Chain A
Amino acid sequence: MADAQARKVIEMGYGGNERLIMNMGPQHPASHGIFRMILTLEGETVVAVDSVIGYLHRCHEKLAETLTYVQYPSIASKTDYVAAMTSELAYVMAAERIGGIEVPTRAQYLRVLVAELQRIASHCLWLGTWCLDMGGALGGGATVFLYCFREREMVLDLFEALTGARLLYGFHQVGGTRYDVPAEWAERCRQTVNHIEKRLDEYESLLEGNTIFLVRTQGVGVISKEVALEVGISGPLIRGSGIPYDIRRHEPYSSYKDFTFDVPVWESGDCYGRYKVRMREFRESIRIVRQVLDGLPEGPVSSRPGVKSVGQVKLPKGEAYARVEGPRGEVGCYLVSDGTTKPYRMKWRGASFSNLAVLPWIVPGHKIADVVAILGSIDPVFGEVDR
C-alpha cells in the first residue's frame, strides 16, 4: 500500500503534465533592476510569462507637466540612466521642433559626439552584464564583465571632464548644449576610442570561439519580422531581426547626415544576432566619434546661451514627436505645448518598454536558463521601462 502511494507521487512529479508557477524576481541578479516575471513551467520549459513592471515608476510624465522646459532636461536623464544623454536629447529636440528653435552646428556635432560615446558606454555595460548572467562558461565568470567595466569607466571619465557628472549629465538644453569641450579633451577622447577599439577584438575572440556562448545564444529567443513590427521593438533588437531601421538613417537629426556610417543588420533574429549587431555598432560609433572630432566646427554651442532663469523658454502652442536612436532603440518624446513655459502633456516612448513587451511572444518554449540569456540580450533598463 505504501509502495503504491509512493509510486503515484513520483509519477505525478515526473510525468510532465503538471504546471508550476515560479516567480523570477523582483530581486533577481539577471534583471539588472527590479523586474518580476511570473513564469508558468512544465518541467524546465516555460509555457507562459507574465511580466510585472512598475517597481521604479516615478510618473515622469506628470512630473514634466510641473517643470519648465529649462528644468526638465536634467530630470529626463533619470529615465534611461545608463544612457542619460539620449533621453535628454529627445526631450530638448521635441521642444525645439515645436518652437522652431535653431541649434548651432557646433552644438549639433557635440550632441552626436556625446550620443555615440554614450552608446559605447551603454553597450559596454550590456555586454559585461549579459556575459555575467550567462555564467562562468564565458571566460571564467566575471572576466568579460570586469573588462567591459574597465572600458566603460574610461568613457565615463570623459563625460566627467565634460559635464562634471559621471552618469546623469544635464548636458543638453533647448537651443544647444550647456557645455563646450574643455582643452585637451578631444585628444583624450581619441585615445580612449582607439583603446576601446583594440579591446573589442579581445572581447570577440573571447566569446565567438567559445562553444558554450554560441550554444546559449544561437537560435535562442528568435524574434520574427512580423512580431518585431507589431510589438514595435527598435534598436539592436529590430536590426538583429533583419529590419534596417535606424533613426539616424531613417530621419537624420542633429547633423547625422554629415557622417559616414553603416547600419549593422543581422538576419537571424536570435540572441546571437543581437550580439553581432551591437558589436558592430561599437565600431560604427567609434567611426562617427572620429569624424566628429575631425570636423568639429567653431562657433557657439547654444542659440540661447543666456538661459538661466527657469521660465525663460516659452514655446508656442503645438505638438511634436521627436525621437532619437538611443543605445536601446527609439527613444521618443511626444510633447504637447499650450503656449506656456511648461508642457501641457509629455509622453515618453521608452525604447526598453516596447522592447520588453516582446517577452511573452518569444520566451514560451524555452528553458528557464534561456530566459536569462534572452532578457540580457534585450538589454532593458528599468528606469526607462517604468519611467
Chain B
Amino acid sequence: MTVEEATQLLQAEFGLTVTGEDPKRVDPLHLVATGPNEQWVEVARFVKERLGCRYFVHLTAVDWKADGFEVVCRLENLEAGLGLTLKTRLGTGTSCPSLTGLFRGADWMERECYDLFGIRFEGHPDLRRILLDQDWQGFPLRKDYAVDTAHEPYR
C-alpha cells in the first residue's frame, strides 16, 4: 500500500482528500484526511480493512471554539509504513459515532475524550469518566474551561 494507492482509494470511495501533516511535505507516515461525521465509522472501517491500518494509535479531539469540536484518530499500517490521521468536525454538536466496534483501543481513548471534552460517542458500550471523578463538573480541555476553575474538595 503506497501513498498514491491510499489517496486514490479514499478519493474514489469517499471523495476525501489526503494531504501531508505539513501540507508542503507528504510523509507516508503522517497523512491527514478529513471526513464527514456521518461517515466516520465507514471511513475508519475502510481504512482498517482496505488500507490495512489495523494498528490503533490514539484518538483525541481539538476544541476550535466557535468552529466546534474536531475528533482526531490516528491509525497505522505497520507493515507498509502508512500512518493516517483521520479527522472529523462535529459542527455545533458534541456527538460522534464510536469506533469501539472496530478497535478495542478506542474504548479507553473515547472515554478519555468524553471525560475531558464532553464529546458523546454514540454506540460506546460504557461511556463514563475515566480520569476524573464520576461527579466532576465540566470538561477541562474545553477552551471555555478556565485553568483555575474551582472544584469541589475531594472526599
Which residue numbers of A lie inside 8 Å of B, CB to CB? 53-54, 57, 59, 61-63, 66, 97-98, 227, 229-232, 243, 245, 250-251, 318-321, 330, 332, 334, 336, 344-345, 347, 349, 353-354, 357, 361, 386-387
Contacts and interface: CB of A to CB of B under 8 A. Distances in A.
Contacts of B74: 321, 334
Interface stretch (B8-16, B38-46, B51-59, B88-96): B51-59
Contacts, number: 90
B104 A361 contact: yes
A245 B76 CA distance: 11
Interface of B: 21-22, 29-30, 54-58, 60, 62-63, 72, 74, 78, 81, 83, 85, 103-105, 107-108, 112, 116, 129-133, 140-141, 145, 147
A4 B91 CA distance: 67
A49 B22 CA distance: 41
A229 B29 contact: no
A241 B81 CA distance: 19
Given A229-B54, A229-B56, A357 B108 contact: yes
Given A232-B58, A320-B21, A345-B62, 14 more contacts: A54-B133, A62-B147, A229-B55, A229-B78, A230-B54, A230-B103, A232-B56, A245-B55, A318-B21, A320-B30, A334-B74, A347-B72, A353-B112, A354-B58
A266 B74 CA distance: 26
B54 A62 contact: no
B132 A54 contact: yes
B140 to A, nearest CB: 5
30 contacts: A53-B130, A54-B130, A54-B131, A54-B132, A54-B133, A57-B131, A59-B140, A61-B141, A62-B140, A63-B147, A66-B147, A97-B21, A227-B104, A229-B54, A231-B104, A231-B105, A232-B58, A232-B103, A232-B105, A245-B55, A250-B81, A251-B29, A251-B81, A318-B21, A320-B22, A332-B57, A345-B62, A353-B108, A354-B108, A357-B105
B30 to A, nearest CB: 6
Contacts of B54: 229-230
Nearest to B72: A334
A232 B103 CA distance: 9
A378 to B, nearest CB: 14
Contact of B56 (A231, A251, A361): A231
Contacts of A318: 21-22
B132 A243 contact: no
A354 B141 contact: no
A53 B131 contact: yes
Contact of A245 (B78, B85, B103, B141): B78
A364 B132 CA distance: 26
A344 B22 CA distance: 16
A360 to B, nearest CB: 8
B98 to A, nearest CB: 14
Contacts of A320: 21-22, 30
A300 to B, nearest CB: 25
Contacts of B56: 229-232
Contacts of A54: 129-133
Contacts of B107: 357
Residue of B54, B105, B140 ringed by the most chain A CB atoms within 10 A: B105
A204 B57 CA distance: 33
Contact of A230 (B30, B78, B105): B105
Residue of B55, B74, B140 ringed by the most chain A CB atoms within 10 A: B55
Contacts of A332: 57-58
Contact of B57 (A62, A319, A349): A349
A55 B60 CA distance: 21
Contacts of B21: 97, 318-321
A330 B103 CA distance: 18
A97 B103 CA distance: 28
A334 B132 contact: no
B141 to A, nearest CB: 6
Contacts of B62: 336, 344-345
Given A227-B104, A318-B22, A354-B105, A232 B116 contact: no
Nearest to A230: B104
B139 to A, nearest CB: 11
Contacts of A344: 62
Contacts of B58: 232, 332, 334, 347, 349, 354
A62 B149 CA distance: 12
A117 B117 CA distance: 37
